[in-house]
Structure 1
Amino acid sequence: MPRQVDHEGRRRLIAEAVSRLADERGLEGVTLRDVAARAQVSMGAVQRCFRTKEEMLVFALGHISEQIMERVRARLLASPAQSAATALGHAATEIALLREEHRTEARVWLAFVAQAAVSEVLAHTLKANYSALQEAFTRLIEEAGQDADGAAPLDPRREARTLIALADGLTTHVLIGNLTPREAEEVLHAHLAALWG
């Protein structure tokens, strides 16, 4: 009887290998052969899961995005009674990847962002992720404004875009050592506090 293969599990295993290699070498250093070796599967197994390197990278980017969003959801579910403003603060802090335990993930995320500048497929994937995040942040900003008796920012969508850009920028500043994680969190929280006047 042929052995059953968990294809989705194998794809996630390969995505983790891509992430580890990208952290060490950047995306330009990720080869199918090295991914196979790191994931401890054959080259054929990698090629059965992904027809091209680009397809593999798109899946790995989606996998990382999923992990980040799962943390955001878990943090929001842990405290369902929190205000929309508090929920927005927690979500923004999670996506900024400022904590030490997320440093590897932050480096890999920025490697993907850099590669997306020259890869239309990766750019399309990132834009879809950012669009979904922007919608969620816009809703939270609108809800927080209602909670604050109408003191919402004039344009919740613009504020959501600004917050996402700020979170990404803070990720970069922490990674290069221009800001400490604590300083970056202070900047983020000052911005959030200013939203409500």
Structure 2
Amino acid sequence: MPKVVDHNERRTRIAEALLRVAGEHGLEAVSLRHVAAEAGVTSGMVQHYFRTKDEMMAFALEVVRERSEARLTAAAAGLGPDPTPRRLLRTIVAEVLPVDEPRRADGRVALAFLAYTAVRPEAAAPLRADTAEMRAFVADRIRAGGPREGIDPDLAAVGLLALMEGLGVHLLGGHYGPDVALAALDAHLDTIFE
């Protein structure tokens, strides 16, 4: 009887190997050969599933996206059925920040992907769509939470997302620790909400 092969499991295994290589050595170290070695498969198997490095990168980016979305959904669900908009936004932003080793590994990969897509506009399309969706979600939560007078929810959403990215980069660089980053997040939320 022929062996049943789970192709999605193999693709995901290869993508996770790519993420480990990228997280430990940067995206410049990613090659079909390095990823195959990390996944414990042959280069031929990697090429069977991904004809090019760009195809492999696009799939890995989707894996990161799904993993991040699952983490954020779980964190939000942990707040109960009706959290305040401010509490929900704080939880989501804090969940994204690289304040522990698993999130630092994801943060390094995310930063590497951001640099990768900066010079590949076609690869950046999913990130742009995600950013637009997140910006709209955050702006809606700010509106629902009662912003301070004079606060434009759309601009405040852009600022909060930029703060999240900046805090993440500085945490990854070791410029300050999680306590300072979370205090800065709270202070920023205090400028938005009544």
TM-score (norm 2): 0.91
CA distance in 2, matches of 1:40, 1:123: 29
Identity among equivalent pairs (%) = 39
Partner of 2:184: 187
Cα shift readout 1:29-78 (whole Å, capped 9, x = no counterpart): 10011111111122232222222110111111121122112111111112
Cα shift readout 1:134-169 (whole Å, capped 9, x = no counterpart): 122122212212xxxx64763212211111111011
Partner of 1:31: 31
TM alignment of 1:1-197, pairs within 5 A: 1-78=1-78, 79-145=80-146, 151=148, 154-197=151-194
Cα shift readout 1:69-116 (whole Å, capped 9, x = no counterpart): 211111111222311211111011112333343111111111111122
8 Å contact 2:151–2:192 — kept in the other structure? no
TM-score (norm 1): 0.90
CA distance in 2, matches of 1:103, 1:24: 11
Counting matched residue pairs gives 193
Amino acid at match of 1:4: V
Amino acid at match of 2:61: L
CA drift at 1:9 = 1.4
Amino acid at match of 2:182: E
Dislocated runs of 4+, deviation >6 Å: none
Segments of structure 1 that go 5 or more residues without pairing to the other structure are none
8 Å contact 2:142–2:193 — kept in the other structure? no
